[in-house]
Structure 1
Amino acid sequence: MSLRVAARRIPNVARPAVQARASTFRAPAFRRFSTETPPPPKKSNTALYAGVGAAVLGGVALWIFSSDSDAAKSAGTVFKSGAQSAKAAANFVPTKEDYIKVYNRIAEILDEASDKGYDDGSYGPVLVRLAWHSSGTYDKESGTGGSNYATMRFEPEALHGANAGLQVARGLMEVVKKEFPWISYGDLWTLAGVAALQEMGGPHIPWRAGRIDGFATQATPDGRLPDATQGADHLRNIFYRMGFNDQEIVALSGAHALGRCHRDRSGFDGPWTFSPITVTNDYFKLLFDESWVWKKWDGPKQLEDKKTKSLMMLPTDYVLVQDKSFKKYAKQYAQDQDLWFKDFSKAVATLFELGVPSTQWVASEPWIIPTTDEQKEAQEKK
């Protein structure tokens, strides 16, 4: 199996000897941030955007950008949308190179979690969750929700139970937004998910720009994201609503190889795998290889591995080995990481584009953005 080297630090979660499978984990690599890209189709106008924005907003901007109210955010959206329309009319659009610069800045931020003692030493998992939850609200019947308007900026969507803790990720992305004010929140958040997955050793995720900022009135109702306490029928209701099938449900569930649950957010507690900041198919392997028992505690119903009691699975995870249709795909992914990478990449790319009209895309086909290591290697070959 040919896999890229993960550019992540070794997780600080202790791994029992039985789980130390050398073939599963990848050695860390040093990150560099040189950028090598195909020649841009036109000169970047990033500096021009900032200047135009400053001239247009004037004194009103002081209120818009100093206030956290939904009214101010909506007003800001009006200005930004107007500026975007003006730039589009004048053919002032960012190039792929501009978005790669944003990608690289996000990649720099990932490891700052280690210095700040956040979780397992990476902000990657919480950024993936931000991109996921801002996209997974899509309803194919009504055409509402999805990544287009980034409505998690507004209450009450920001306060939905499924989004607890995501203020951490949104705050991190505000730092990037200030450095690259021309990028929409929807593009920024989904690009952050792509950067996190790729920089944590996952597959390339095709991505393109074109999302616009929306208004508070476009925020979605609560209940559109999965409830981890439920079973197979619930999963199908949630994902079928978005347009996914059983195979894609299982492929997307593999993202639980990353991160951990927190008592003060979801109520659940613990990581799914022994390498929670590296993208592997361990989530599927562990579902089949470990014995899972219901945890005896005062929290919500969850499972723990019988051997170490250090890992957990949610009820919605466990149905993947109980439901006949789900189990077939989960078994395939446990046996073949390359197959999962391929299916996962396709499903995530689809997820991140939900709710965006095709007329908004700046490119007819999604881009493959190189990882920071790939950019460095390309630069060194010059």
Structure 2
Amino acid sequence: MSLAALRNTLRRSALNTSARAARPVFRQGAVRRLTTETPTPKKSNNNLLYGGIGAAVIGGVAFYVYTSNSDTAKEAGTAVRSGAQVAKVAANFVPTKEDYQKVYNRIAEVIDSAEGYDDGSYGPVILRLAWHSSGTYDKETKTGGSNYATMRFEPEAAHGANAGLNVARDLMEKVKQEFPWISYGDLWTLGGVAAVQEMAGPKVPWRPGRIDGFAAQATPDGRLPDASQGSDHLRNIFYRMGFNDQEIVALSGAHALGRCHHNRSGFDGPWTFSPTTVTNDYYKLLFDEKWVWKKWSGPKQLEDKKTQSLMMLPTDYVLTQDKSFKKWAKAYAADQDLFFKDFSAVVARLFELGVPTAQFTTSEPWIMANADE
């Protein structure tokens, strides 16, 4: 069976299942009660699921055995999983929003459990994991993105831009053990949503449907921003993902959170005085402070002349120098509500890069409740 034929079988199976499925009933609202119980699917949905993906699984297994351990076999295995996800969506055989809310609430607890780590929150490093696992997308080849969660594998886990993210992956692995039904891609991006919202940021629309891939699908190094570069580099990186100048500047606002670590990136220090709270201070500081090149043995970075306690990277400072970038950076410095609106929209897009629309379990993204709501 060819790979194309296998994919056709998957599509037909999903469509047939959809035709037989009863109209789904969606439960509304968010659940604040914490639990580690794994949701039990309804029996009627089991029958729909098995009917929809049985042929796909049989065909996929046969193809895998025939091709042994080849890359084609791995691709076929991923196609089976993707087709199975589509069939689940068609049959409504998926965890509910309430189930994902429980995962969100558990992540919120993890964020607040940092104590001695950095500035007392795991939020910034969890957001960075979601960002870096999504920002590898290439719109031309349609590779990378959040769908396969390939940072689980070497060498992607060891890419320079991902230094230190083992901290976040280990934290998320503990949550995964409590909720084994959630994919890594969904878990990591949901973690990014929780990080933004729990650190006083805007609501970020999100929906599940990502699947776990193989090491062969890991992305090459060089797809994430190099902080030592300028505007041309930023455009090359972000245009490849499908973003424009305004969205580049809005995404840069994530630097309101967290800090650089000399033993990871080589750079050192926080961008703002409140690195665990989402604000537009990042933009305001860019224009309000006097920035000078830091005199030290590390890589080229800037520090604020007044206190010498803050830092900006070359890719940050370019937002004040490039005419197109500067327009949007000034706008966000002047209006936090505008920044929140644009930041929410572009982060939601970032977290969906590389995910086929048919895999999503809902046509409209959800707004997850904050842990204290």
What TM-score do you get using the length of structure 2 for normalisation? 0.79
**In the alignment, which residue of structure 1 is the partner of 2:113?**
112
Q: What is the CA–CA distance in structure 1 between the aligned matches of 2:275 and 2:82, rounded to whole Å?
A: 41
Give per-residue Cα distances to partners, 1:228-248, cap 9 Å, x unaligned. 000000000000000000000
Q: What is the CA–CA distance in structure 1 between the aligned matches of 2:81 and 2:175, rounded to whole Å?
A: 19
Residue aligned with 2:236, SS: helix
Q: What is the CA–CA distance in structure 2 between the aligned matches of 1:253 and 1:188, rounded to whole Å?
A: 23
1:316 aligns with 2:315: yes
Relative to structure 1, the CA distance from residue 82 to residue 181 in structure 2 (aligned partners, 3 Å threshold; closer, same or farther) is: farther
Give per-residue Cα distances to partners, 1:216-263, cap 9 Å, x unaligned. 111000000000000000000000000000000000001000000001
Residue aligned with 1:304, SS: strand
**In the alignment, which residue of structure 2 is the partner of 1:37?**
29
Could you tell me whether the CA contact under 8 Å between 2:147 and 2:212 is conserved in 1? Answer: yes
**In the alignment, which residue of structure 2 is the partner of 1:143?**
142
**In the alignment, which residue of structure 2 is the partner of 1:46?**
38
1:262 aligns with 2:254: no
Counterpart amino acid of residue 122 in structure 1: S
Q: What is the CA–CA distance in structure 1 between the aligned matches of 2:84 and 2:261, rounded to whole Å?
A: 38
Q: What is the CA–CA distance in structure 2 between the aligned matches of 1:167 and 1:88, rounded to whole Å?
A: 32
Could you tell me whether the CA contact under 8 Å between 2:89 and 2:359 is conserved in 1? Answer: no
Q: Which has the larger radius of gyration?
A: 2
Give per-residue Cα distances to partners, 1:267-298, cap 9 Å, x unaligned. 00000000000000000000000000000000
- Give the 5 Å matches for 1:34-113: 37=29, 46-48=38-40, 81=81, 91-113=92-114
Relative to structure 1, the CA distance from residue 82 to residue 140 in structure 2 (aligned partners, 3 Å threshold; closer, same or farther) is: closer
Relative to structure 1, the CA distance from residue 310 to residue 353 in structure 2 (aligned partners, 3 Å threshold; closer, same or farther) is: same
1:159 Cα offset (Å): 0.3
Q: What is the CA–CA distance in structure 2 between the aligned matches of 1:81 and 1:48, rounded to whole Å?
A: 20
* Bigger relative CO (Cα 8 Å, ≥ 6 apart): 1
1:89 Cα offset (Å): 7.5
Q: What is the CA–CA distance in structure 1 between the aligned matches of 2:30 and 2:107, rounded to whole Å?
A: 20
Q: What is the CA–CA distance in structure 2 between the aligned matches of 1:217 and 1:232, rounded to whole Å?
A: 32
Residue aligned with 1:240, SS: helix
What TM-score do you get using the length of structure 1 for normalisation? 0.77
1:37 Cα offset (Å): 2.0
Residue aligned with 2:372, SS: helix
1:372 Cα offset (Å): 1.5
Could you tell me whether the CA contact under 8 Å between 2:257 and 2:275 is conserved in 1? Answer: yes
Counterpart amino acid of residue 100 in structure 2: Y
Give per-residue Cα distances to partners, 1:52-73, cap 9 Å, x unaligned. 9xxxxxxxxxxxxxxxxxxxxx
1:346 Cα offset (Å): 0.4
Q: What is the CA–CA distance in structure 2 between the aligned matches of 1:195 and 1:233, rounded to whole Å?
A: 32
Relative to structure 1, the CA distance from residue 365 to residue 88 in structure 2 (aligned partners, 3 Å threshold; closer, same or farther) is: closer
Could you tell me whether the CA contact under 8 Å between 1:190 and 1:352 is conserved in 2? Answer: yes
1:370 Cα offset (Å): 1.3
Could you tell me whether the CA contact under 8 Å between 1:148 and 1:213 is conserved in 2? Answer: yes
- In the alignment, structure 2 segments of 5+ residues that lack a partner are 1-27, 32-36, 47-73
1:91 Cα offset (Å): 4.2
Counterpart amino acid of residue 201 in structure 2: G
Give per-residue Cα distances to partners, 1:141-188, cap 9 Å, x unaligned. 000000000000000000000000000000000010000000000000
Residue aligned with 2:114, SS: helix
**In the alignment, which residue of structure 2 is the partner of 1:350?**
349
1:47 Cα offset (Å): 4.0
Residue aligned with 1:112, SS: coil
Could you tell me whether the CA contact under 8 Å between 1:247 and 1:326 is conserved in 2? Answer: yes
Could you tell me whether the CA contact under 8 Å between 1:46 and 1:94 is conserved in 2? Answer: no
**Alignment root-mean-square deviation, CA:** 2.4
Q: What is the CA–CA distance in structure 1 between the aligned matches of 2:98 and 2:134, rounded to whole Å?
A: 24
Identity, % of aligned positions: 78
**In the alignment, which residue of structure 1 is the partner of 2:186?**
187
**In the alignment, which residue of structure 2 is the partner of 1:199?**
198
Relative to structure 1, the CA distance from residue 82 to residue 271 in structure 2 (aligned partners, 3 Å threshold; closer, same or farther) is: closer
**Moved runs in structure 1, 4+ residues, more than 6 A?**
none
1:81 Cα offset (Å): 3.9
Residue aligned with 1:363, SS: coil
Residue aligned with 1:372, SS: coil
Relative to structure 1, the CA distance from residue 321 to residue 138 in structure 2 (aligned partners, 3 Å threshold; closer, same or farther) is: same
Residue aligned with 1:188, SS: helix
1:92 Cα offset (Å): 2.6
Residue aligned with 1:202, SS: coil
- Give the 5 Å matches for 1:198-277: 198-277=197-276
Q: What is the CA–CA distance in structure 2 between the aligned matches of 1:287 and 1:88, rounded to whole Å?
A: 45
Q: What is the CA–CA distance in structure 2 between the aligned matches of 1:183 and 1:267, rounded to whole Å?
A: 34
**In the alignment, which residue of structure 1 is the partner of 2:4?**
none
Q: What is the CA–CA distance in structure 1 between the aligned matches of 2:288 and 2:170, rounded to whole Å?
A: 38
Q: What is the CA–CA distance in structure 2 between the aligned matches of 1:312 and 1:90, rounded to whole Å?
A: 51
